[in-house]
Structure 1
Amino acid sequence: MIEKREFYINGEWVAPQAGRDYAVIDPSTEEPCAVISLGGTADAEAGIAAAKAALPAWRATPPGERIAHVEKILSIYQARVHEMAEAISLEMGAPIDFALAEQAGAGSWHIQNFIEAAREFQWVHPLGDGTPGAMISYEPVGVVGLITPWNWPMNQVTLKVIPALIAGCTMVLKPSEEAPLSSLLFAEFVAQAGVPAGVFNLVNGDGAGVGTVLSGHPDVEMISFTGSTRAGRAISRNAAETLKRVCLELGGKGANVIFADADEDAVRRGVVHMFENAGQSCNAPSRMLVQRPVYDQALSIAKATAEATKVGSPRESGDHIGPVINQAQFEKIQGLIETGIKEGATLLAGGLGRPEGLNKGYYVRPTIFADCTPDMTIMREEIFGPVLSIMPFDTEEEALTVANDTPYGLTNYVQGQNGEQVNRVLRAFHSGMAVANGKSRGAGAPFGGVSASGRAREGGRWGIEEFCDSKSIGGWFE
């Protein structure tokens, strides 16, 4: 049993002042694998006080020196990446190969992209031509509270901690209590890199405790939160009294529009993407809309892809998916599968219960529903599991109406070979991100949505700007 009860505050590992034990559950065995402490108000306030005390010196540190600290963090991260992968695999059930390449890999990738963006970042620059002495400067927001989720732990920790460090902010990180081990390891990297005491602090806790203190505290100038839309609303309400900046990266219900001229791998690619990370990604393409001439063919490919998707232990090497995070999530997914059946969707693959041969652990059968309609629960609610809903469409206008008929607006996808049509659809999606034909959005591109998906913009230059206040200056001496 791993015991990690201490918090990282003011450059030291310290015992909780108001802690209580919390068991971290291995989702593949349903058994405790670690014990941490959930902090209380006193612990959160100690982290905030340390960050506040460290702020003047850190914000005055030249950007080049701040970047140098981040470069050290990256070097340590890369040297200890296998430890990170093992921690993530244990705490949230990612298969070990996926945990190394994608989960832990996402962290080092983001750090590198931030370093490159920071080297080109113009901290003070002219407003424009014809306005001599008019300048714009970027200044750190101040003390920030960072609240991160369990599904992509290092992806989200690095998307918040690293730009905050570069911008000159000091911070308190509250990782998810469901998957805290990777963040505790990351704190070791920060300490090993020699980041000054108080600049980075980590306090474990739950949303109702430490999360509420961070989002409501007058000394915290900004909250950056990734998680559910429900929690995002609660954080916004609590933060309103102190008028702090609130940056939210929330849920999604992505549409994947497949036109009749899409490439032959489009459907398989969409199913594989949906099932990645056991469907526990906010940007998952969970609604597949297929143009009617290729609908039957698409169902055949989707069914075969689902049936070929292996489910297995996170400890085993290979190309398979693992369990979902916990009992509550498992039961939620089972309930939504049952609802899909009751509401008349055609169960094409998977269904209720665990996959064959897996009698313990929060494993879900890769499931596909066909013949869905836009009003069905499985087409409207974020399931956050390996469940894909498919429906046919006839026209581009119909597809866009369905794709945009959601309170969410994170990522939408389109597959097709007509360049004018694809570009038109990409622009017409009501979402913060849009992707065609499986292409990358590019290193350093901002990640974030609109509407109920929040409006954060994390990554690259935009991610650094998010932790800055812009200052408008007149009378600058040239």
Structure 2
Amino acid sequence: MTELLPNFVHGAWVAGTGDGTPLTDPVTGAELVRVSSAGLDLPRAFAFAREQGGAALRALSYGQRAEALAAIAKRLQANRDAYHAIALANSGTTASDTAIDVDGGIYTLGQYARWGAKLGDAKALLDGGPATMSKDGVFQSQHLLVPTRGVALFINAFNFPSWGLWEKAAPALLAGVPVIVKPATATAWLTQRMVADVVASGLLPEGALSVICGSSAGLLDQLQPFDVLSFTGSAQTAEMIRSHPVVVQNAVRLNIEADSLNAALLMPAASAEAQALFVREVVREMTIKSGQKCTAIRRALVPQAVYDQVGAAIAAKLAGVTVGNPRETSVRMGALVNREQFDSVLAGIERLTSQAQVRVLFDGRAQPLVDADPAVAACLGPTLLACDDPDAANLVHRVEVFGPVATLMPYRDLAHALALVARGEGSLVCSLYGDTDGEHAAALAACATELAACHGRVHVISPSVATTQTGHGNVMPQSLHGGPGRAGGGEELGGLRALGFYHRRAAIQADAAVVQALGAVALSV
């Protein structure tokens, strides 16, 4: 039997009981390692993190915690090659796709280290200025943000075992809140290895960072009123979490990122150059990480007049995408995470096409694989669907196929396009493609404002930013990540805004001298 990876809880490495769950290579099917959380003393693990880790972190200033984040980023960067090797074996990703996860996580840590350094010696944050509560102005109210006296539990998805950890852990640790991460079982190896490297470095106090690999059974039962929970995954699981008796009873603060039918919208008067950017971005979002991104483009909307033309252009580019074993330098798109996900994507395509609401423009299911056995490998080519009547269709606006699949659809005018986008009932991101010359910039701004109501982020791409824009699906720590409605209603990142989730806001009502004295420990942000 392969190695059973230990969990790090209550300051010790502890192996779960039983045989554990195997983690496999999605290309070859070979077993790599095993994980198990069975038999762990979860009450002890949470109490240790809450009491030991929390107290130790809060004893540090924001600046000191920022220094720790910067040192962690350097330590992880030094071990980058090992992380890429694990991702290649366990996630089946190409080098460029792995970089999005590994390098993106390290970059996010570095950003929060730099932002945190500016907070200096403060141990609390002032929220706005004082408000006068009396006629003479002596009695005042000052809102204060202090780190929550609980633990941050992260239940993460399989697609970003590195970035998914650090985009949450960076602001949590900077805020002074200890972290317990439960990575998705299928790709837990990379998360576990990164935590192990941080633990070995001694850069964080004991109890500040824990990792539990395997089943999530019993984790929610440990949550207390001052704890926070961040979940990334399916809407079905999110519903179960929201209704969990302990979560409800203790009013546990939740951040949820769930299903998202993200859209890309080509503006009515877009130039040929803007149209080419649209085509390129749709193809890129279908193929990066084999479409396994919460932010990937699922619906692509274009004016009716260019519907056929754009569809042919996207299909032509998809035909040139090589799929298979990412160890081969010619391969541009690697594997889905496992055969279970492979089957799920095939079932999703079948569901979308079964009611004749969409047709297949480019069928990646028939694409040959490079150095991969189609009977074993979880490799699947990109599939472009077309929905000729998006008004009559319903599944394309409700069903997310989490893989290399997108649906192209036409619209009559901009009002019609906005209505179709809104049928996604809330998404993480929508991208707009147009021009910024003349009145076009104002049109993009007006459209972006309309879309802001149902998206966490609106990404506007024009020829003027073609070489500098960060990508429809790339989540940058400077901007908000999350979305309303079906997307889960959560908010992450967005610079220092992310610290709000890990703080408690209170109003201090006192003599003006007391309010002024708060500045000795708190910093205005």
TM class, shorter-length? over 0.9
Give the structure 2 partner of residue 128 of structure 1: 129
Equivalent-residue separation in structure 2 for 1:454 and 1:19 (angstroms): 35
| Residue of structure 1 equivalent to 2:443 | 421
Identical columns (%): 23
The one-character-per-residue Cα deviations of 1:134-165 (angstroms, maximum 9, x if unpaired) are 43322112212111111011111001112111
For residues 441-468 of structure 1, what are the alpha-carbon distances to aligned partners after superposition, in whole Å with 9 as ceiling and x for unaligned? 8652121111121222222212222111
Q: CA deviation at 1:15?
A: 2.8
- The one-letter code matched in structure 1 to 2:215 is D
Q: Deviations over 1:294-341 (max 9, x none)?
A: 222201211111111111213234561111112222112112222333
- Match for residue 145 of structure 1 among 138, 142, 153: 153
**What is the aligned partner in structure 2 of residue 187 from structure 1?**
195
Match of 2:51 among 45, 50, 53: 53
Over 3 Å counting, the alpha-carbon distance change for 1:162 and 1:46 in structure 2 is: same
**8 A Cα contact 2:3 2:33, kept in partner:** yes
Give yes or no for contact 2:91–2:337 (8 Å, CA) kept in 1.
yes
1:129 Cα deviation from its structure 2 partner: 6.5
- Larger mean CA deviation between 174-183 and 421-430 belongs to 421-430
Which AA in structure 2 matches 1:196?
P
Q: Within 2, Cα distance between the matches of 1:37 and 1:168?
A: 29
Q: TM-score, normalised by structure 2?
A: 0.84
209, 213, 232: which one pairs with 1:200?
209
Question: Could you tell me how far apart the structure 2 residues matched to 1:78 and 1:389 are?
Answer: 38
Structure 2 alignment gaps of length 5 or more? 518-525
Specify whether residues 462 and 316 from structure 1 end up closer, same or farther in structure 2 by C-alpha distance, changes over 3 A only.
farther
Shift of 1:354: 6.2
Structure 1 residue 251 corresponds to structure 2 residue 259: yes
The amino acid that maps onto 1:200 is L
- Counterpart CA distance in 1 for 2:19 and 2:47 is 21
- When residues 232 and 378 of structure 1 are mapped into structure 2, their CA distance, relative to the original with a 3 A threshold, is same
For the structure 1 residues 187 and 80, does the alpha-carbon distance in structure 2 shift closer, same or farther, using more than 3 Å as the test?
Answer: same
Query: Equivalent residue of 2:481, what SS?
Result: coil
**Residues 318, 78 of structure 1: alpha-carbon distance in 2 compared, 3 angstrom cutoff:** farther
Structure-to-structure mapping, 1:289-304, within 5 angstroms: 289-304=301-316
Residue number in structure 1 paired with 2:479 = 445
Alignment partner of 1:236 out of 238, 242, 259:
242
* Residue equivalent to 1:224: 230
Q: Which runs of 5+ in 1 are unaligned?
A: none
CA shift, 1:106, in A, is: 0.8
Change (3 A) 1:381 1:325: same
Task: Give the structure 1 partner of residue 498 of structure 2.
Answer: 463
Aligned to 2:93: 94
Equivalent-residue separation in structure 2 for 1:318 and 1:98 (angstroms): 14
Q: In 2, distance between residues paired with 1:126 and 1:463?
A: 14
Q: For 1:401, which of 410, 416, 419 is the aligned residue? A: 419
Contact 1:74 1:108 survives alignment (8 Å):
yes
Partner amino acid, structure 2, of 1:425: C
1:332, 1:247 → 2: CA distance? Answer: 26
Instruction: Judge conservation of contact 1:159–1:463 (CA < 8 Å) in 2.
Output: no
Partners of 1:256 and 1:412 within 8 A in 2: yes
* 355 and 372 in structure 1: CA distance in 2 versus 1, 3 angstrom threshold: farther
- Is the CA contact 2:266–2:432 (under 8 Å) kept in the aligned structure 1? yes
Deviation at 1:401, TM superposition (A): 0.4
Determine which structure has more spread, i.e. the larger CA radius of gyration.
2
Q: 1:454 to 1:95 in 2, by over 3 A?
A: same
- Equivalent position amino acid for 2:126 in 1: H
Q: Which amino acid aligns with 1:368?
A: L
> Do 2:7 and 2:213's aligned partners in 1 also have CA atoms closer than 8 Å?
yes
Shift of 1:28: 1.0
1:314 is paired with a residue whose SS is coil
Q: SS in structure 1 opposite 2:415?
A: helix
Aligned to 1:276: 288
RMSD over aligned Cα atoms:
2.2
Q: TM-score, structure 1 length as denominator?
A: 0.92
Contact preservation (8 Å) 1:39, 1:210: no
Shift of 1:33: 1.5
Shift of 1:474: 2.6
The 2-side partners of 1:44 and 1:272 are apart by 42
Aligned counterpart, 1:44: 42
Q: In 1, distance between residues paired with 2:4 and 2:240?
A: 29
User: SS at the partner of 1:432?
Assistant: strand
- CA distance 1:292–1:22, shift in 2 (3 Å): same
Q: Secondary structure at the match of 1:452?
A: helix
Distance in 1 between the 2:369 and 2:151 partners? Answer: 50
Match of 1:162 among 170, 179, 203: 170
- Native 8 Å contact 1:20 1:39 kept in 2: no
Structural mapping, 1:52-91, within 5 Å? 52-54=50-52, 55-91=54-90
Q: In structure 2, the residue corresponding to 1:348 is in which secondary structure?
A: strand
Check 1:399–1:308 CA distance in 2 against 1; reply closer, same or farther (3 A cut).
Answer: same
Partners in 2 of 1:228 and 1:403 — Cα distance?
20
